Amino acid sequence: MRSEGKAKRGFGSPQERVRLRLLRLLSSAPFAFLLSGCQGIQSALDPASRDARLVAELSWWMFTSAVFIYIVTIGLLAVGAGLFRGRKRLSFRSSTTLVILGGVCAPIIAIIAIGVSGVAIGDETEGAREAGTALTIEVVGKQWWWELRYLDEAGEVIAVTANELHLPVGERARLELLSDNVIHSFWAPNLQGKTDAIPGRRNVLFAEPAVEGVWRGQCAEFCGKQHTLMGFMVVAEPRDEFNAWLERQASDALAPPAPGLDVFLDLGCGGCHTIRGTPADGQKGPDLTHLASRRTIAAATLPNSRGNLGGWITDTHEVKPGALMPSFIPEPQDLHDLLDYLEALH
Amino acid sequence: MTAVGIETSGHDPALEPSSYGHEAAVGREAFERIERTWRSPAGFVGWFTQVNHSAIGLRFIVTAFVFFILSGLLGLAMRLQLAMPLNEMLSPEAYNQIMTVHGTAMMFLFAIPAMEGVAIYVAPLMVGARDMAFPRLNAFGYYVYLIGGSAFFLSLALGMAPDAGWFNYVPLANKTFSEGYGVDIWTTMITFIELSALTAAVELIVTIMKLRAPGMSLDRMPIFVWAVLVMSFMILFAMPSVMVASAFLMMDRLVDTQFFIVENGGSPLLWQHLFWFFGHPEVYIILVPALGIVTSIVVTFSGRPLFGYTALVLAITGIGMVSFGLWVHHMYTTGLPFMGRSFFMAASSMIAIPSGVQVYCWIATLWGGKVRFATPMLWVLAFFGVFIAGGLTGVMVASVPFDRQVHDSYFVVAHFHYVLMGGAVFPLMGAIYYWFPKATGRMLSERLGIGSCLTVFVGFNITFFPMHILGLQGMPRRVYTYVDGLGWGNMNLLATFGAFLLALGFALTLFNVVRSLRHGAVAPDNPWGGSTLEWATASPPLNCNFIQQPVVESRRPMWDWREAGSRTVVAGLSEDRRETMVTTLLDARPQSVMVLPGPTPWPFVSAVAASFGFIGLIFSPWFFPIGFFAVFATMVFWFWPRHPWRKK
């Protein structure tokens, strides 16, 4: 919480540079806001969907059996070589029995169990199921963030956003994984196993949150310099809240033109970012039309606060070395205006 | 020239416990002549002309362990960086290079060459040959490996090392996304290692098949030799796949072929298939000889014949074959059809059967025996403790739905360190303690060895066990840091602590080796009472390995001779040229005598020429013809007929 407190003070005072230094310190603890009570928001052991729960249950079964097999095998070794050390060797017949039971029968049982459970659960988690898959979202892996395109039933794009996937609770959403650069892998462990986004392919993954909640996920396939901080948030909410959210995301920017927009355009931000309803229509970076509605910035790396936004704009590579966005250091008043504007993009 | 024949040696080994009387067997004069014939030239220049398998094998082992230490230090650097969330010790550029070099070097520059080194050193001794079939090719393979490996580490020192991971997936490794020379250095290094591994493989196959001592029919071959044979065939079948893949990539980057460029119809998945068709057998290439090492040690220290010889041979061969049908389990998340993946799920878990058979054969052998818990045996016990755990998690990740959660997470990092360190490094350490007396004539300190083994075992588990949990908690692999608040900090800190303990354990063995080279107790010929032929020669081995090549009548010649008090040997091989027996493939009946070439600098010159071409290729395609003709020229000198078969 410490970091957020500092960040909220903003850039109003004349000691801008000193503040910026302080902001750099932020990057050492950007996720403190998650600390309290948020452990497990990116964990396969805290399933929040039926798919993840099935796999977690399978995991516990396998761990238990593995521990059992381990103890029996090491135990036999310890008893045979330690306890019975120097006694008679096993007869040929008992040796053969030992090898056949331990080395052939036990593995065969394990293989059958692995195979049957794997096929059954795999079929279940990877299938569309009858629950209906009205919602289709294109998830596009970028270097190093995620573009999310919500499609309507005709396959037309309704809304474009970035790094924060909203899903309706209890519905099976179809995520189509795309990439126009390198291979990424979409992994929100609380909801589902991972699937790769491969250039030239359209892989499909289903996500069906069973409860309301906010989770984090991140890229799981090494995709270059900033693979590490290529995260995203998943927000599951009731259908009506989701509809409201989607409607807003589909609209043009709600903020009225302000001095900050001019700063935005003067700095050239519009070359890479889109703010729908303004001249900014760049395609390289995340769509910022509703930036202020998101919980995080920099691909789920920093909480979305005024201080963090300022720090990100002025010292991008301190937060994310290698990020493709350059740093900008506008005049203090301009920065102030810019942040005012960005914070109004609800 | 006397006719080659078989006779019973007059001396009684039992009377000479510290030495089997190699000199007495043939008389001082003949002994010295034979040893002079097989001597390796000394001195700085002489070093570059040596071709004896014992010299080359030892070099492979020592070089591999130097790379092991370097890569291990890189591992420590990564652990330091990951000790705390958002640590800034290493930049992402540095971390990605270190991660790539650590993985690549451990696999290509340490594990395979170390296994080849042990095989090159031990296998000819075990089959009772005087040297390997192509000694000069052997030397060539070593120099190529040395130059390639050194150039690879040099690139890291210069900050231009590859940074696309050891698996080097395209499109990330394409020119568009990896500028600079890093990936080119990677593909070049792969070429070097392929070359070196292929030479070693052919060499080992021919030696094992044709140069076994008379009487050592296939069913009398030690399990270690079987394992080496299987490993060599696996290299032969697996390497061409990665060779094709790296050549494609090299050409994509160098002359704009479009194998992996999606926009022009290339396929990123093609790379993954080719890479893993090699990459999966690769881990068994490392594991299989280690299983042979474990078997050797188990037999020796239980002091009795192996239970289930045939079962073990079948299991090792089975592993070798099945390992070629599993590669897709590295690609469960790529969106291949579920039906296809189910097949590979079944095939992957099938490895559990031969592995289980082996483990239980060893247990049956050790059961009730007077097992001596000397250091090599302790390393084998550590192997059991770690490898079985790794094997069990291996069966788990064969399951498609489970793997889709843990794939590319720290769970997999934990799993493969358990199988690779448990399955390869622990047996290799056992091999060092087991064969060090044979190779150097000195014993290693037992006390230091026990300390080292315990420290490594405890350190290893503290380092890698927490990674299972980290992976399930959602921590992906190949990340240079992680954000705070996800609950990963403590486990990572613990792992880092364990890594230093692990390093300390290995340092103890290093110290032990250095110290014992000078101050170790003098080793007798057969310090552990082993049953196989490498213990029949002196410690360190004679230049000619065997002053009289032995004739084998069972799987346990040393134990037979101890009981009989005499041994049967080959007589009549020339004293003035390098001769060794050639025998038939199955029954090892004497067939003819092979004359082996002696010391020469040409393999070295040839390797330098080849390296010049390969490394130049990073910078310009013109180095391909230059390198080609340079190698051709040196080969002409290498193969210039010198009539070694003509009687002097």
**In contact, B189 and B525? CB cutoff 8 Å:** no
| The pLDDT of residue A13 | 42
d(CA B90, CA B80): 9
Helices (H), ranges, B586-622: 602-617
pLDDT confidence bin for B8, thresholds 50/70/90? low
| The pLDDT of residue A10 | 36
Residue of chain A whose Cα is closest to the Cα of B307 = A95
Tokens (6 digits) for A321: 């070395």
Q: Nearest CB to B476: which of A59, A90, A187?
A: A187
User: How large is the average pLDDT for residues B119-132?
Assistant: 96
- Chain A CB contacts of B353 under 8 Å are 103-104, 107-108, 111
Note the pLDDT tens digit of each residue in B240-267.
999 899 999 999 998 889 999 999 999 9
How many interface pairs between A and B have CB atoms less than 8 angstroms apart? 288
Would strands A164-168 and A231-237 be described as parallel, antiparallel, or unpaired? parallel
Helices (H), ranges, B83-181: 92-104, 112-126, 135-157
CB contact (8 A) between residue A86 and residue B398 = no
**In contact, A161 and A180? CB cutoff 8 Å:** no
Phi-psi region of A177 (alpha: psi -120 to 50; beta: other; left: phi over 0): beta
- Chain A CB contacts of B369 under 8 Å are 81, 85-86, 89
CB contact (8 A) between residue B472 and residue A102 = no
- Chain A CB contacts of B396 under 8 Å are 59, 62, 66, 114
Tokens (6 digits) for B593: 């005598």
Q: Nearest CB to A196: which of B334, B399, B409?
A: B334
Q: Nearest CB to B353: which of A58, A104, A114?
A: A104
- Chain A CB contacts of B371 under 8 Å are 81, 85
Counting residues of chain A whose pLDDT is more than 70, the rounded percentage is: 87
Phi, psi of A37 (to 5 degrees): 70, 10
User: How large is the average pLDDT for residues B443-471?
Assistant: 97
User: How large is the average pLDDT for residues B576-592?
Assistant: 93
Put simply, the chain B residues between 394 and 413 with a CB less than 8 A from any chain A CB are 395-396, 398-409
In Å, how far are A80, A89, A187, B362, B551 from B529, measured between CA atoms?
22, 19, 55, 18, 19
User: How large is the average pLDDT for residues B442-471?
Assistant: 97
Radius of gyration (Cα) for chain B, nearest Å?
Answer: 25
d(CA A181, CA A324): 13
Q: What is the residue type of B72?
A: G
Work out the minimum CA distance from A272 to partner chain B, whole angstroms: 19
- Chain A CB contacts of B268 under 8 Å are 183, 198-200
Which residues contact residue B7 at a Cβ distance below 8 angstroms, ignoring those fewer than 6 apart? B568, B569, B571
Half-sphere exposure of A91 (CA within 13 A, CB side): 3
In Å, how far are A249, A314, B355, B535, B595 from B293, measured between CA atoms?
63, 59, 15, 15, 30
Element (H, E) at A342: helix A332-343
Q: Nearest CB to B479: which of A59, A123, A227?
A: A227
**In contact, B163 and B627? CB cutoff 8 Å:** no
- Chain B CB contacts of A141 under 8 Å are none
CB contact (8 A) between residue B172 and residue A183 = yes
Q: Nearest CB to A66: which of B165, B392, B400?
A: B392
Q: Nearest CB to A95: which of B96, B307, B479?
A: B307
| The pLDDT of residue A46 | 94
Phi, psi of A175 (to 5 degrees): -100, 125
Note the pLDDT tens digit of each residue in B593-610.
999 999 999 999 999 999
Residue of chain B whose Cα is closest to the Cα of A218 = B476
Tokens (6 digits) for B585: 């493939």
Q: Nearest CB to B407: which of A35, A122, A194?
A: A194
Chain B interface, best mutation among A61, A99, A101, A214, by max B CB count within 10 A: A99
- The interface pTM score, or ipTM, of the predicted complex is 0.92
pLDDT at B3 over 80: no
Residue of chain B whose Cα is closest to the Cα of A222 = B478
Burial of B575 (0-12, 13-18, 19+ CB in 10 A): buried
**Does any CB of chain A come closer than 8 Å to the CB of residue B350?**
yes
CB contact (8 A) between residue A34 and residue B268 = no
CB contact (8 A) between residue B392 and residue A70 = yes
| The pLDDT of residue B424 | 96
**In contact, B13 and B21? CB cutoff 8 Å:** yes
Q: Nearest CB to B385: which of A43, A74, A204?
A: A74
Q: How far is CA A317 from the centre of its chain?
A: 21
Put simply, the chain B residues between 373 and 392 with a CB less than 8 A from any chain A CB are 381, 384-385, 388-389, 392
Tokens (6 digits) for B602: 């040409």
**In contact, A42 and B474? CB cutoff 8 Å:** yes
Helices (H), ranges, B351-488: 352-366, 375-397, 400-406, 410-420, 426-440, 446-472
Phi-psi region of B277 (alpha: psi -120 to 50; beta: other; left: phi over 0): alpha
Residue of chain B whose Cα is closest to the Cα of A36 = B485
d(CA B58, CA B321): 29
CB contact (8 A) between residue A125 and residue B409 = no
- Chain A CB contacts of B408 under 8 Å are 185, 187, 194, 220-222
Phi, psi of A188 (to 5 degrees): -115, 90
d(CA A29, CA B85): 8
pLDDT at B42 over 80: yes
- Chain B CB contacts of A45 under 8 Å are 472-473
Q: Is-cis flag, bond preceding B550, omega within 30?
A: no
**Does any CB of chain A come closer than 8 Å to the CB of residue B633?**
no
CB contact (8 A) between residue A66 and residue B396 = yes
The helix-helix angle for B352-366 and B338-350 (nearest 10°) equals 10
Q: What is the residue type of B501?
A: L
**Does any CB of chain A come closer than 8 Å to the CB of residue B267?**
yes
**In contact, B444 and B434? CB cutoff 8 Å:** no
- Chain A CB contacts of B398 under 8 Å are 114, 118
User: How large is the average pLDDT for residues B303-330?
Assistant: 94
Q: What is the residue type of A144?
A: W
Phi, psi of B451 (to 5 degrees): -60, -45
Phi-psi region of B368 (alpha: psi -120 to 50; beta: other; left: phi over 0): left
pLDDT confidence bin for B647, thresholds 50/70/90? low
pLDDT per residue of chain A (346 residues) written in tens, 0 to 9: 333 333 333 333 444 444 444 444 444 444 444 443 456 899 999 999 999 999 999 999 999 999 999 999 999 999 998 888 888 888 999 999 999 999 999 999 999 999 999 999 999 999 876 655 679 999 999 999 999 999 998 889 999 999 999 999 999 999 999 999 999 999 999 999 999 999 999 999 999 999 999 999 999 999 999 999 999 999 999 999 999 999 999 999 998 889 999 999 999 999 999 999 999 999 999 999 999 999 999 999 999 999 999 999 999 999 999 999 999 999 999 999 999 999 999 9
pLDDT confidence bin for B565, thresholds 50/70/90? confident
**In contact, B537 and B22? CB cutoff 8 Å:** yes
Strands (E), chain A: 136-142, 145-151, 157-162, 164-168, 173-179, 184-186, 195-197, 203-207, 213-218, 231-237, 296-297, 302-303
**In contact, B631 and B82? CB cutoff 8 Å:** no
| The pLDDT of residue B20 | 61
| The pLDDT of residue B19 | 54
d(CA A223, CA B478): 9
Q: Nearest CB to A80: which of B335, B363, B482?
A: B363
CB atoms within 10 A of CB B643: 7
The mean of the pLDDT values for chain B is 92
Pick the CATH number of A2-39+253-343 from 3.90.1720.10, 3.40.50.720, 2.60.40.420, 2.40.50.100: 2.60.40.420
For every residue of B187-238, DSSP letters joined together read: HHHHHHHHHHHHHHHHHHHHHHHH-PPTT--GGGS-HHHHHHHHHHHHHHHH
d(CA A253, CA A276): 6
Burial of B33 (0-12, 13-18, 19+ CB in 10 A): middle
Q: What is the residue type of B408?
A: D
Query: Using alpha carbons only, what angle is made at residue A61 by residues A58 and A67, rounded to the nearest 5 degrees?
Result: 135
| The pLDDT of residue A104 | 95
d(CA B645, CA A178): 66
Burial of B588 (0-12, 13-18, 19+ CB in 10 A): buried
CB atoms within 10 A of CB B30: 14
Chain A interface, best mutation among B313, B367, B370, B386, by max A CB count within 10 A: B367
In Å, how far are A187, A303, B87, B174, B408 from A231, measured between CA atoms?
9, 12, 18, 24, 15
**In contact, B550 and B129? CB cutoff 8 Å:** no
CB contact (8 A) between residue B404 and residue A86 = no
**In contact, B313 and B357? CB cutoff 8 Å:** no
**In contact, B117 and B146? CB cutoff 8 Å:** no
Q: Nearest CB to A199: which of B262, B393, B396?
A: B262
User: How large is the average pLDDT for residues B564-582?
Assistant: 88
Query: Which contacts of B102-106 are long-range, i.e. CB under 8 A and separated by 24 or more positions?
Result: B102/B71, B102/B74, B102/B75, B102/B78, B102/B166, B103/B165, B103/B166, B103/B167, B104/B152, B104/B162, B104/B166, B104/B186, B104/B189, B105/B67, B105/B70, B105/B71, B105/B74, B105/B149, B105/B152, B105/B153, B106/B68, B106/B71, B106/B420
CB contact (8 A) between residue B172 and residue A196 = no
CB contact (8 A) between residue A225 and residue B93 = yes
d(CA B190, CA B152): 10
Which residues contact residue B94 at a Cβ distance below 8 angstroms, ignoring those fewer than 6 apart? none
**Does any CB of chain A come closer than 8 Å to the CB of residue B645?**
no
CA dihedral B205→B288→B53→B528, nearest 10 degrees, is: -130
**In contact, B133 and B206? CB cutoff 8 Å:** yes
Would strands A231-237 and A296-297 be described as parallel, antiparallel, or unpaired? unpaired
| The pLDDT of residue A82 | 85
The 8-class DSSP code of residue A296 comes to E
| The pLDDT of residue B73 | 97
Q: Nearest CB to A99: which of B361, B399, B408?
A: B361
